């Protein structure tokens, strides 16, 4: 039935039609519907108008259905049962639920939470398929349209349609290889600027370019300084390989990517005191409010928060995520 026809039909009319077909009597049908007999007669009139058919004729033994009514009788129970199932609150069983969840996140944040989440889903809810993409500036529209389900992001002002859940925070740092000339002390800004930098963009929608300025670059400009960029990339492994094989420096965090840091023997140093920066940057989980009451989304969200809490407990600090100071956030 076309939608324009459906909009003219009250669901209660279909229920009344089913009762009339079963009772074949207006008075008894009214009693079952808990309405008066005159009200039931008006409902029958509305049904006749909706279906453009008399539906019933009166006889000494009650109502006799027309051929059109008998045709409706064959279809109506299945229709009402389907509607009832749609309206019925479904019990959520993660072991049997089959759906997909799409998450967008910067690589540094995803690599910490998503592997554990994938493992957990396979163990507890193998029917939930997980998809992961790198985040960009279109994620708000994608959440709104339903293309994605969650975003791991840095806290920022968002419209009221978005639900923001804190995940923790992270501290910015400067990364270098083990044995780097600056690795045996906390270097000053002057010392750091003597070496080239790797500019790794975690979150960027546009084409990566050496001319793209980060917040760190703007801080330097305010001091009348500038850094030399040896490599600009959005590829994490390339950035880490280059860092490990050169005297380049890279912006990172104090406590993230422990395994990668150990493998590449990364040394982490505090931001230079001459640079004004946020001591901690909050990370959040973002979802659209339309998913707030979805059992699947609530369950996956609970698991993400549990994994993040586990990471924080393991470190003994209130941190999660990677330093995103390299992202130009002025467009937000």
Q: Are residues 13 and 136 in the same domain?
A: no
Tokens 């529209």 -> residue: 141
Q: 145 and 24 in one domain? A: no
Which pLDDT belongs to residue 228? 93
Distances in Å between the alpha carbon of 291 and those of 13, 143, 252, 286?
A: 31, 10, 33, 11
Tokens of 323: 């330093």
Same domain, 64 and 128: no
Mean pLDDT value of segment 110-131: 89
pLDDT score at 31: 92
Same domain assignment for residues 78 and 10 = yes
CA distance 170 to 225: 26
Per the prediction, the chain carries an average pLDDT of 83
pLDDT at 178 over 90: yes
Question: What integer is the mean pLDDT of 67-75?
Answer: 91
Report the distance separating Cα 142 and Cα 42, nearest Å. Answer: 47
DSSP single-letter state for residue 271: P
* Poorest-pLDDT segment among 30-39, 243-252, 268-277: 268-277
Residue 165's SS3 state is strand
Flag whether 128 is in a domain.
Answer: yes
pLDDT at position 9 is 64
Nearest to 191 by CA among 179, 174, 213: 174
Q: pLDDT tens digits for 100-114?
A: 999 998 777 777 788
Sheet holding 197-200, edge to edge: 229-233, 197-200, 249-253, 172-177, 266-270
Same domain, 160 and 292: yes
pLDDT of residue 153: 86
Q: Using one digit for the tens of pLDDT, what is the confidence trace for 226-237? A: 999 999 887 888
Which one, of 204, 198, 235, 142, lies nearest residue 332 by Cα? 204
Percentage of residues of the chain with pLDDT beyond 90: 42
Based on the fold, state whether residues 180 and 261 are members of the same structural domain: yes
For the chain, the residue count is 332
Does residue 215 register a pLDDT over 80?
no
Q: pLDDT tens digit string along 304-318?
A: 999 888 877 765 544
CATH number of the domain that 54 lies in? 1.10.10.10
pLDDT of residue 128: 92
Same domain, residue pair 295 and 152: yes
pLDDT at residue 328, rounded to an integer: 36
Q: Is residue 326 part of a domain?
A: no
Mean pLDDT of 130-145: 86
pLDDT for residue 320 is more than 60: no
Whether residues 141 and 119 fall in one domain: yes
Looking at residue 329, its pLDDT comes to 38
Q: Are residue 21 and residue 83 in the same domain, yes or no?
A: yes
Radius of gyration over every alpha carbon of the chain, rounded to an integer in angstroms: 31
Average pLDDT of the residues in 276-298: 85
Kindly give, in sequence order, each residue whose CB lies less than 8 Å from that of residue 105, ignoring residues fewer than 6 positions away: 113, 114, 132, 134, 135, 151, 152, 153
The whole-number pLDDT of residue 266 equals: 92
Note whether residue 131 is domain-resident. yes
Task: Give the pair of three-digit tokens for residue 72.
Answer: 């409706």
> Which pLDDT belongs to residue 284?
92
* Cα–Cα distance measured from residue 164 to residue 287, given in angstroms and rounded to the nearest whole number: 7
Confidence check: pLDDT of 303 > 90: yes
Q: Are residues 110 and 238 in the same domain?
A: no
Mean per-residue pLDDT, 62-90: 84
Lowest mean pLDDT among 9-13, 97-101, 155-159: 9-13
Mean pLDDT for the stretch of residues 238-250: 94
pLDDT category of residue 279 using cuts at 50, 70 and 90: low
Query: Residues 122, 68: one domain?
Result: no
Span of 90-94, 152-156, 230-234, 269-273 with lowest mean pLDDT: 90-94
Domain boundary among 270, 302, 326: 270
Domain span holding position 47: 3-87
Q: Say how far apart CA 25 and CA 5 lie, in whole Å.
A: 27
Q: What SS3 class is residue 64?
A: strand
Would you say residue 325 lies in a domain? no
pLDDT at 325 over 50: no
Same domain membership, residue 51 and residue 183:
no
State the pLDDT at residue 280: 73
Average pLDDT over residues 175-190: 94
Could you give the CA distance from residue 271 to residue 63 in angstroms, rounded to a whole number? 86
> Where does a domain end: 61, 87, 113?
87
Averaged pLDDT, 188-216? 75
């Amino acid at each position: 039935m076309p939608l324009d026809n459906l909009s003219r039909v009250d669901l209660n009319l279909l229920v009344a039609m089913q009762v009339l077909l079963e009772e074949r009597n207006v008075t008894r049908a009214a009693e079952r519907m808990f309405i008066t007999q005159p009200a039931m007669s008006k409902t029958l009139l509305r049904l006749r108008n909706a279906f453009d058919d008399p539906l019933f004729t009166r006889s000494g033994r009650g109502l006799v259905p027309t051929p059109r009514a008998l045709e409706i009788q064959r279809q109506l129970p299945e229709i009402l049962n389907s509607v009832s199932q749609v309206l019925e609150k479904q019990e959520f069983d993660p072991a049997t639920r089959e759906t997909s969840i799409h998450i967008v996140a910067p690589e540094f944040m995803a690599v910490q939470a998503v592997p554990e989440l994938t493992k957990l889903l396979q163990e507890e809810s193998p029917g939930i398929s997980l998809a992961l993409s790198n985040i960009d500036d279109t994620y708000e529209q994608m959440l709104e349209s339903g293309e994605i389900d969650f975003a791991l992001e840095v806290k920022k002002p968002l419209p009221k349609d978005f639900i923001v859940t804190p995940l923790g925070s992270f501290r910015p740092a400067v990364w270098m290889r083990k044995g780097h000339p600056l690795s045996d002390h906390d270097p000053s800004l002057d010392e750091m600027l003597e070496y080239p930098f790797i500019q790794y963009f975690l979150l960027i929608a546009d084409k990566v370019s050496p001319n793209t300025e980060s917040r760190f670059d703007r801080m330097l400009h305010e001091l009348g300084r500038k850094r030399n960029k040896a490599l600009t990339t959005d590829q994490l492994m390339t950035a880490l390989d280059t860092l490990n094989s050169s005297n380049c420096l890279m912006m990172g965090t104090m406590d993230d990517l422990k395994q990668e840091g150990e493998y590449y023997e990364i040394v982490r140093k505090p931001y230079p005191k001459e640079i004004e920066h946020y001591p901690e940057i909050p990370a959040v989980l973002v979802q659209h409010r339309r998913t707030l009451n979805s059992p699947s989304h609530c369950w996956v969200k609970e698991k993400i928060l549990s994994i993040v809490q586990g990471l924080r407990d393991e470190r003994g600090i209130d941190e999660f995520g990677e330093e995103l100071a390299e992202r130009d956030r002025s467009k937000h």
